[in-house]
Structure formats: C-alpha cells, structure tokens
Structure 1
Amino acid sequence: MDPGSGVPVTLELGGVADPGLGFALTAAVVWGVYIYLLKRLFEGYPPAALAVLINAFAIAWYVPVVVSDGSVTAASLTAFGMAEIAVVAVTVLSTAAAFVLFLVAIADGDVSYVTPINKVVPMFVLPMEILLLGQVLTPLEVAGVVVATLAVYVANYDPGGFFQPFVKAARSRPAQLALLSAMCFAVSDVGKRVGLQELAIPETLWVPLLLAGVAAVLLPSAVRNPPSDVRADLPKFALAGGVVALGEHTTTLAFAILPASIASPIINTQAIVAVVLGGLLLGERHFRIRIIAAVLAVIGVTMIAI
C-alpha cells in the first residue's frame, strides 16, 4: 500500500506497478555488479575522490538522457521551493555519507561480509515511513525485521559460542561502518520516495541533481586527499560511471512508482549479486555462510515489503 495515498500497490504480472517492480529488480542487478567493481577495480583509492570521479563520468553518460527527455526546463528548476530544496539536500547528504562509509567498510573487510550487513537498509526505511508517512507495521513486517537482523548474525558467524557473532559485529569496524551506512542509505531512500512522488520532481532532473550534489559535497575532501594518478584508470572510471548512471536511472524510476518500503527491499537484493561475485571471483572466505546471510537478508526485507 502506498502510505502517502492509501492506494494499494499491485505487484502481480499485469498490475499497475509492474514497471516499478521491473525497474527495482534491474537496479538490484546493476548495483550488485557495481559493488563488485568497486572492490575489484578501485582498491586503494580515497573514498571521496573515487565518488567524485565516478559521479562525474556518470553525469557525462546521463546528459544525453536529460537532453532527449525534454522534461528538464528552466520552469522545472524555478519551480523549486523550500520543500524541494530541503528534500534534495537531505537525500544528497545522506547518500554521500552512506557511499563513503560503505567504501571504507569494503576496503577494511570482505565484500561478502560487509554487503549482507549493509543491505538491511529496509529495517530502517520502514520505521521512518511509519513515523513520517503513516505506514502501518504488520506482524509479517515485524517478522521480516527479525529475519533481516538474523542475517547480520549469520554474516558474523564463526564456530564458537552463541553470542560470538554479536561480539564480532560489535568489535568489527567494517560491520559498524556497514550498519551506519545502511542507516544513511535508508534516509536517502525515503528522501527519494518523497521527492519523486510527494513533490513530483521529474526523474531526469532528480538523477543529475543527486549525482552532482553528492560530487559537490565530497569535492572538498577529494581535493584534500587526491589520488596519485588516474590517467591509466580512466577507462575503468568511464565503465563505473556508466554503471552508476544506469543504476541511478532505474532506481529513480522504481522510487517514482513504488513506496520506499517496497522499492528498497527489492533493490537491496543486490546483496545476493555482490556476495556471489565476491565469493566466486574474489575467492573470499566463508562463502557458503555469507550466501546464507545474503539469502536471509533478502527473505527478511521481502517479508517487510509484502
């Protein structure tokens, strides 16, 4: 149900929300591949500089979409009021913080360890929708939160005492950063839903605003901590920028149709893609356990979305 309008959202084939479901699933695959690329291609880059460079290429890739769409006009920009500015600013700041925290987390820990923890974003999205948009919490959604939390336990599992995984997560810097990043991503997801649905900001305006805003926020830090030489890696940045442009576009289209409590769980199934790639192609440890953690995370957030 759309908490803003009280209108049920249909996810069945042939239902009115089919495009939103398709966009969300596409975004999940794109972002899962992107997480793998971050670890595989850009290890050692300062997080802020990495984000600024990738976003710059993403904006370049997205310019033809904005031009061909034609919905971004001077009138659409001048129509911005304080509400639009505030929502865009909060979304940009939370997205920038979430991305940097996640980069630091995967730099310190395995992709297949950090990702299941980081992708319990809907655990935080749903309470915010309850408080801000009047979403009603059902028993199934409560059960979903429990299952998603169990995924964090499993991701931290090592042979030993029952409470050992909790101790590990509490002491693990990657785990702490991943959870903090998840909270920031949750704020960003709710901001996307409000901006695209309640405030009706055009999708092709939202994407460049978000990309440019995140780059602007991180630019001072990027200037203070620049990478040594990026010329050899420019093709890699172009590739990553194209992936980000596609991911942001499909994510935006999903949030323009679905409520955040449905779009966020679907998009965050990217954990499965990232964990599989991390285990198979990067040879990370405890692959089977972390696959279980990723599956539990997906089950939990799906139960939240039902």
Structure 2
Amino acid sequence: MDAGLGVAIIAAVVWGVYIYVLKQAFSGYPPAALTVLINTFALAWYLPVAATEASGSADALGNFGILEVGVTGLTVVMTAVAFVLFLEAIADGDVSYVTPINKIVPMFVLPLEVVILGQLLTPLQVVGVVVATLAVYVANYDPGGFFEPFVKAANSRPAQLALLSAMCYAVSDLGKRISLQELAIPERLWVPLLLVGVAVVLLPSAIRNPPQEIRGDLPQLALAGAIVALGEHLTTLAFAILPASIASPIINTQAIVAVVLGGILLGERHFRIRLVAAVLAVVGVTLIAL
C-alpha cells in the first residue's frame, strides 16, 4: 500500500505538468490528432520498457478471453473519449478553471467501486477521498458565493465538457483496476494496449481533421510523449496495487499541480485560494494513507 501511494503521488505530479504543457504548447491542435501524435511518441518511448517482459506479455495476450477483451475495450474507449473532451474543455476555458472540475473523478469512482466490486474503505479513507475532492472544489472557487462554482459550471460549456470527461475517466479508472488486479493483465502489456487502443479509436477523427503543420512541434510532441509514457507507467503501477477509489483521488490531485503551475508561471488569479486547495489535497492524501 505504501509503495502504491508513493507511485500515485509521483504520477499526479507528472500528469499535472502534462496538463500545463498541453495548454501552453498545443492549444491550436485538433484534440483527436494531438492525442494520436502524442500516443505514438509515448509508445515509441515505452517499447524498450515493454520489451523487458515481452514473453510474459505475449502469453497473457494469448490467453485473452471475452471478459479481458471487453473490459480492455471499454477502458480504452472511455479513456479516449474522456481525454478528447478534456482537450476541448481546456481549449475553450482556463486551465485553472477547467482542470479542477475535470478531476472530481474520485466522486464517481468511489460509488462505482463499492457497488460493482464490493470495495470496503475505512472511515478515515472515505474522509480522505472527500477532502481530496473538496480540494478540487476550492481550487475552482472564485470569490462571490459558496455556490458560485456550481452556478458557473451549469452555464459554462467548458465546465460541462470537463464534467462529462470526469464521468468517462471514472469508468476508465475502474476498468484499469479490474484489468490490472482482477484480470491480472501485466503492467508492461497494459500500457502499450492503452496507448495503441486510444490512438486506434481516435485515428479516423484525426485523419478527417489533421493538424496543419507539425514539423516545428516535433520536439514538443516527443517531450509530451515521454511525459505520457512515464505518467501511464506510474498510473498503471498505482492501479495494480491500490483500490481505484484510493488511487484515483491521489492521481487526480494533478489538478492542484496544474493550477499551481498556472499561478506561478502564468500569473492566474486567486492564487492564494489555489494554495489552500493544495493543502487540502495533501490532507486528503494523508488520510487515505492512514
């Protein structure tokens, strides 16, 4: 458990940096095309890692049945849809506003895991999940009223896209947990399956709406691919050890990392409130770890 918590925290930092990079370097890219390009680079970075367990992965792939194919397919599709919706949301809205809304994933993961898998959490862990999710609310809060974020979200297309993306990510997170724990798919097989699967799902849309020019952005795309390869590897390790209802809130504190980067590097508003959110996130993670 302790090892999984550490891996999940590092994954949150990696994904938080990735969100900032997406907004800064690729704001003009069509979402599907950008995802396919980054996943292609990520796969190239990850293949040497996957090759270290090639024989075991081949055996596991050969033993895939209907259940493995179904769960993997659903997870891949939900991941692809969630990420495209998130890209569309940050294209229309501020990172510091959209990202926290998108990262309320744990509030959807917890009931799904309890109902479907019968996961049992201690009272402190439940409080930790709530506090970590509250951190996301605070990061999204604009002075003007307690319910202002809800009113704003109800009338904001970026917020609506981010919320829909969060729901898709919740299904994806549960699928990862089932694939890696109940179905025992090897971690170094799972990452390539996810990267390739998402790229294949989005490839038709990417072909219909390609980016205008990518040559000048190849170094940034390679860097983004490296971040994704690292992030997916760490996320996979975390979900292979931890319940989804614990791994998800920790990894989704990436919202706080992205917001803090936005405050420091972009001078975004209400930075002190964002720091309060960061403290709440740490408290939530600590309670989950107890």
Same fold (TM over 0.5): yes
Which stretch of the first structure deviates more once superposed, 136-145 or 198-207? 136-145
Aligned to 1:46: 30
Report how far residue 219 of structure 1 moved: 0.6
Report how far residue 261 of structure 1 moved: 1.4
8 Å CA contact 2:103–2:136 kept in 1: the answer is no
Question: Using the alignment, how far apart are the partners of 1:154 and 1:302 within structure 2?
Answer: 18
8 Å CA contact 1:37–1:240 kept in 2: the answer is yes
Aligned to 1:254: 238
Residue 155 to residue 73, structure 1, CA distance change in 2 (3 Å): closer
Which stretch of the first structure deviates more once superposed, 43-52 or 161-170? 161-170
Give the fraction of aligned pairs with identical amino acids, expressed as a percent.
76
Structure 1 segment 72-221 matched on structure 2, within 5 A: 72-136=56-120, 139-140=123-124, 143-144=127-128, 147=131, 150-151=134-135, 153-221=137-205
SS at structure 2 position matched to 1:80: coil
Q: Match for 1:228 among 212, 228, 246?
A: 212
Report how far residue 299 of structure 1 moved: 4.4
Report how far residue 65 of structure 1 moved: 1.0
Structure 2: 5+ residue runs without aligned partners? Answer: none
Question: Using the alignment, how far apart are the partners of 1:152 and 1:30 within structure 2?
Answer: 17
Structure 1: 5+ residue runs without aligned partners? Answer: 1-9, 12-17
User: TM-score by structure 2 length?
Assistant: 0.91
RMSD value over aligned CA atoms? 2.2
Give the partner amino acid of 2:93. Answer: G
- The alignment covers a number of residue pairs equal to 290
Pick the structure with more helix per residue.
2
**2:263 counterpart of 1:279:** yes
User: TM-score by structure 1 length?
Assistant: 0.87
8 Å CA contact 1:251–1:267 kept in 2: the answer is yes
Question: Using the alignment, how far apart are the partners of 1:69 and 1:286 within structure 2?
Answer: 47
Aligned to 2:21: 37
Give the partner amino acid of 2:182. Answer: E
8 Å CA contact 2:139–2:259 kept in 1: the answer is no
Question: Using the alignment, how far apart are the partners of 1:153 and 1:74 within structure 2?
Answer: 43
